Structure 1
C-alpha cells in the first residue's frame, strides 16, 4: 500500500509573527520556517503504518518555492521514502493546492492520502476536504486514531460532542488532529540518510493545473492588544462589571 502525505512550509510556531508595514501580508524576511505541526503528525502516522507492515511506501509532497525542499527533507528524515516538490513562486491558496494534490493522486495512485487538518499560517482547514471532493474519495477529518485492515480504514475523529468512528473504503483522504500521535525526534543519522533519498521536482504546468489565486487579500492587521485584567473583591462586583462594563450579561 502506498501512502501520500502532504506537508507545508510555514513560519515556525515559536516565532512571533509580524505584519508588513503596508499591511499586505506577513513579514517572512529572516524568519525561521519549519514543517506545519499538523503535517508532521501526518508524516509520523504514515511512517508508523509502514513500520507496522500496513504500507510499503510513503511519499511526501509539498507545493511552493524551492526552499520547500528543506521541509521535504524533514519528512524524509522522519521516515518517508521519497519526496515530490511542486515548485512555483505563485501564491498558493487551498483550492490550487487541492488541484495539485489531485493531479499527483491520479499519477501516483496511493491507497491513502494523509494531510494535517489545517496549516498554522492561514488556518483555512480546506485543502483535505477540497481534495476529497475533487478526487471523489471518502474522507475522515480531525482524526485522533487510524486503523487499516485490508481495504478498509477505521478512523476515530474528534467532534464537538466527543468522538465519532467512521469506516472508510480505501482509497481515502484523512486529515490529522493533535491527539493522533506525537512525532518522533529527528536524529542526525536520519537527517544524513534523508539527503540520499530521491526528491523529484515538477511544475504546476507539468501537471496541467492552473494555480492562479481566486481570492484577494485586502488587508492584514495585527489583533488588537488585550487590556489588563482586574481583580474584583467579590461576586457582586464581578456581576456588576460583566453587566455594566463588559455588557456580556
Structure 2
C-alpha cells in the first residue's frame, strides 16, 4: 500500500508562549521554536505501522517554506522513504482550500492508495483533509483512531464520536483519513536518526511543477483579525476546614440556583 502523509511545521506550543503581534495580523513569530504538528506525527507513525503490516511505501509532503524541510527529515528519520517539499512564492498566504489544492496536485503525481492528514493543525480549522478528499473525489473520514487493512480495496476504521463512543466503519480505497491523537505511540526520533537523513536530497515542487495557476490558489477566505479574548473574573478560592469549605460551596451553589 502506497501512503501519502501530509505534514506541517508549526510553533511548538509546549515550548513557546504564543502572543498576537502588535498589528493584530498574526502571532508574533520571532524566536519561536517549531516542530511537526502533533496530529501529523501520529499520522506518520500510523502510516509506518500499516506498511510494516502489509507492505508498501510512505511519502511525506509539506506545504511551506524551506524551513519545512526539517519536519520532512524528522519523518524520514522515523522510517519514511520519500518526501516532497511543496514550496514557492505562489504558496504564500494560502487559505485551507489553497493548501488542499497544492496537496491534490502533489498526490496526483504519485500512485497513492491512502492519504493521511492530522485531524487539525495550528490554525485549528480541521478542514484540509475534507477538502482534499472532495477535490480528489475520494471518501473521507475524520478523527480516525483505529485503522485495520481488510483487503487491497477496503479498510476498517474507528472514529471518536461525541460522548466518548467509538464508531466502526468500512471505507473503500483510495481514501483520505484525518488522524486523531492517541491512535498509536509515535516512535522516538534520536539525533543519530536525524543525522542519517541529513544529506538526503528532498525534491521541491513549486506551482509551475504542479501545474497550478495563481487563480487556482487565490484565497477565498480573508483573515480579518487576531486577538486575545478578554479574561473574565478569576476563580474564588475557598479557605477553611473541609467542613467549612463544603458549607460555603453549598451556600454559593444555592445562591446561584444550582441546588435546592
TM-score, normalised to structure 1, is 0.91
C-alpha distance in 2 between matches for 1:150 and 1:199: 32
SS at match of 1:108: coil
C-alpha distance in 2 between matches for 1:175 and 1:154: 14
Matches within 5 A, 1:16-95: 16-52=17-53, 54-89=54-89, 90-95=92-97
Instruction: Show the counterpart of 1:237.
Output: 252
Distance 1:196 1:55, change over 3 A: farther
1:52-88 Cα deviation digits (max 9, x unpaired): 2x23211000001111111111111111111101103
- In terms of Rg, which structure is larger? 2
Residue 179 (structure 2) pairs with residue 176 (structure 1): yes
Instruction: Show the counterpart of 1:136.
Output: 137
C-alpha distance in 1 between matches for 2:235 and 2:257: 13
SS at match of 1:129: helix
C-alpha distance in 2 between matches for 1:224 and 1:55: 52
Root-mean-square deviation over aligned CA pairs: 1.6
C-alpha distance in 1 between matches for 2:201 and 2:110: 15
Instruction: Show the counterpart of 2:222.
Output: 216
Distance 1:237 1:103, change over 3 A: same
Instruction: Show the counterpart of 2:242.
Output: none
Q: Would the aligned equivalents of 1:82 and 1:198 in 2 still touch at CA under 8 Å? A: no
How many residue pairs align between the two structures? 241
Structure 2: segments with no counterpart, 5+ residues: 239-244
Offset at residue 200 of structure 1 (A) = 0.8
TM-score, normalised to structure 2, is 0.88
Q: Would the aligned equivalents of 1:140 and 1:166 in 2 still touch at CA under 8 Å? A: no
Offset at residue 188 of structure 1 (A) = 2.1
C-alpha distance in 2 between matches for 1:221 and 1:5: 32
Runs of 4 or more off by more than 4 Å in structure 1?
Answer: none
